[in-house]
Structure 1
Amino acid sequence: MSQYPIELQAPDIRQWENGNTGVPYVWEFDSGQPGPTVMVQAVTHGNEICGAIAVDWFLSKKLLPEAGKLILSFGNVAAYARWNPGNPAANRYVDQDLNRVWGDDVLNSDEDSVELRRARELVRFVDQADYILDIHSMHEHCAPLMVCGTDGKGADKAVSISRRMGVPEYLMYDTGHPAGLRMIERGAFADPASPKTAILVECGQHWEKLAGDVAKDTLMRFLVQTGTLSLATAQPHFYPNLDYSGRQRVIAVTEAVVAESEKFSFVKPFTGLEVLAKKGEPIAINGDKTVTAPYDNTVLVMPSVAKQWRIGTTMVRLGRLIND
């Protein structure tokens, strides 16, 4: 069983399987009015059910875009179908992490997996989008985070839209993943010269009620900021207690700690956003190495204790709070 109570019910999304695009579980709605193409993806990881809750809720409300086009996608549906409340951490993926396969070198390779086949179905929607929101959650209890891409590669665009949305409290400049390219880093989304913008929200602990609320709130605020929905339409669905307008904080990640051995363990049960006051404080044992804080006031971001990980998996990010 999970160390955390399961407060969310994973929705039955099979009613959305047929879609209307020729690709299972992908829906596209055209307002007929000028505007951007906006994509929202849920369950990039099969055990992160808050995104499924938000997109299922949106589709059930029969809300439609008021400008541009809206694409709604359930990502790793094969992994999601394996959801088991008795073992809720076991279905992150089937063969490999769907959020590490978005480089052309991987998508166009001869490699094969459940996740690669799904990414190859989804990539045409990703590439036509002007804005993307990818909805995720975290294994440990931690305040919601917005992952704003890699610093210097389009992340300023993501921070800007997140500030306009007013959610969540913490915005993160990331370093990417050595194990592979994420969807939000694909193509023009990582190009500072392009207006295309992609963000990834970590809504809180996977199965806490808050994560479902954050997912729905973030979805609606995102659709307002992209011009897809009017404020009048979306605002009744906001969660005012989640609004951090003017109070958001930015974390600049300086490095990612990657598992170099099957024997990786943290020195204590970190959950995320802990601040280690002194350079050199121990963080984890990575094979025969001790990982330590690289500088004073090191912030630990999203330490991973998930059951599904491999050598090469990012286990924790280390960063600094930016005073702005």
Structure 2
Amino acid sequence: MALPVFPVQLPVPDLGPWLGGNLLPGVWSFEAASPGPHVALISLIHGNEIAGALLLARWLREGLRPLRGRLTLVFANLDAFARFDPTDPTLSRFVDEDLNRVWDERVLLGPRRSSELARARALRPLMDGVDVLLDLHSMLWPSDPLILAGDTPDARALGLRLGVPGLVVADQGHSTGRRLIDCAAFARLGRAALLVEGGQHWQPATFEVLEASATALLRHTGLLPASTAPATPPGRLAEVTRTVTATTHGFAFVQDFRGGQVIPARNTLLALDGEQEIRTPHDNCLLVMPTPRALRGHTAVRLARLVDEAGHS
């Protein structure tokens, strides 16, 4: 079944001036005179998610430099982005495999070969020196913006302090492979890696969310001056209670759900996976990034429980 048409309402970024990098191809790193953390902003983990690349290209063009510490800007999957076609924008997500599923040490050190693994292996040493990472993403299907914080306390705390977007989801990742934010480098005490999903691909509002989130991070870490605007309220935490992986090619939701939607009642029917019913495991169940066309073996939706300030569900 063909995907719906999602119009590309953002300009395709011109990365020509930035392909060479000053550290690695597509990687620019700048160190301030004053000491501070090493912060990395990552774009184009998926070659068709251009909003983050637009932001980093604009900041490079404007000559953004950190007040302290080190700032690294990364255009990750350049080979996939080179194939981006606004008339068929979903085809350039990756070349051989998903670059956001290969960050397991056994995979990185193993014998398998692919375009994405070659790039991950080139970037992996850089990750060892990064204190704080923000991975800039967007979504194909309609969903409220959110921050994915994985399962480390430092990442959860950082996401909540940023408050942009306002929802922080603590999760265990995907069964199909480890994301960049799950990389062993960020499991160490005092380090944090976040993934921000700014909204739907190719929408101006998504660019604005990514810009606000990245700016908030740079201000929080002291790489940019503090804002004089009123403080952003802290985010709200949700903990994933179940990750639903499609086990058949016939996985189908029973209605059009939107990411961020809260289902009030436990045991509400959400989807059919062949003959298996997928139901909400608890009251006030938050739907995290439901994927109507989930392939067998891939995440179809994550189900989460909102947590209040006292840590109660």
- Give the TM-score, by structure 1 length: 0.89
Deviates more, 1:127-136 or 1:24-33: 24-33
Query: For residue 224 of structure 2, what is the aligned residue in structure 1?
Result: 229
- Match among 181, 196, 200 for residue 178 of structure 2: 181
Query: For residue 65 of structure 1, what is the aligned residue in structure 2?
Result: 66
Whole-Å separation in 1 of the counterparts to 2:231 and 2:308: 16
- Match among 286, 298, 302 for residue 313 of structure 1: 298
1:13 correspondence with 2:53: no
Deviations 1:3-54 (A, max 9, x none): 4332211212122111011x21011111132111111100111121111111
Whole-Å separation in 2 of the counterparts to 1:163 and 1:298: 20
Q: Give unmatched runs, 5+ long, in structure 2.
A: none
1:233-248 matched pairs, under 5 angstroms: 235=227, 245-246=232-233, 248=235
For residue 123 of structure 1, give the secondary structure of its aligned residue in structure 2.
Answer: helix
Letter in 2 for 1:27: W
* 1:164–1:296 distance in 2 versus 1, CA, 3 Å: closer
* 1:215–1:109 distance in 2 versus 1, CA, 3 Å: same
For residue 177 of structure 2, give the secondary structure of its aligned residue in structure 1.
Answer: coil
Structure 1 residue 311: deviation in Å?
3.1
Whole-Å separation in 2 of the counterparts to 1:246 and 1:158: 17
Letter in 1 for 2:168: L
Deviations 1:53-83 (A, max 9, x none): 1111111110111111111111111111222
Deviates more, 1:131-140 or 1:289-298: 289-298
- Match among 214, 217, 220 for residue 215 of structure 2: 220
Letter in 1 for 2:155: A
Structure 1 residue 278: deviation in Å?
2.2
- Match among 240, 243, 254 for residue 267 of structure 1: 254
Q: Is the 8 Å Cα contact of residues 32 and 66 (structure 2) preserved in structure 1?
A: yes
Query: For residue 299 of structure 1, what is the aligned residue in structure 2?
Result: 286
* 1:79–1:288 distance in 2 versus 1, CA, 3 Å: farther
Structure 1 residue 226: deviation in Å?
1.6
> How large is the RMSD of aligned CA atoms in angstroms?
1.9
Deviations 1:75-95 (A, max 9, x none): 111111222222222222121
For residue 211 of structure 2, give the secondary structure of its aligned residue in structure 1.
Answer: helix
Query: For residue 51 of structure 2, what is the aligned residue in structure 1?
Result: 50
Whole-Å separation in 2 of the counterparts to 1:117 and 1:247: 38
- Give the TM-score, by structure 2 length: 0.92
Structure 1 residue 258: deviation in Å?
0.9
Structure 1 residue 295: deviation in Å?
1.6
Runs of 4+ aligned structure 1 residues displaced above 3 Å come to: 1-5
Deviations 1:136-182 (A, max 9, x none): 011122221011112xxx2x322322333231111111121111111
Deviations 1:94-117 (A, max 9, x none): 211111111110000101111111
1:1-324 matched pairs, under 5 angstroms: 2-21=4-23, 23-150=24-151, 154=152, 156-191=153-188, 194-231=189-226, 235=227, 245-246=232-233, 248-305=235-292, 310-324=295-309
Paired residues in the alignment total 307
Structure 1 residue 188: deviation in Å?
4.1
Q: Matched residues, percent identical?
A: 38
Q: Is the 8 Å Cα contact of residues 137 and 203 (structure 1) preserved in structure 2?
A: yes
For residue 35 of structure 2, give the secondary structure of its aligned residue in structure 1.
Answer: coil
Structure 1 residue 257: deviation in Å?
0.8
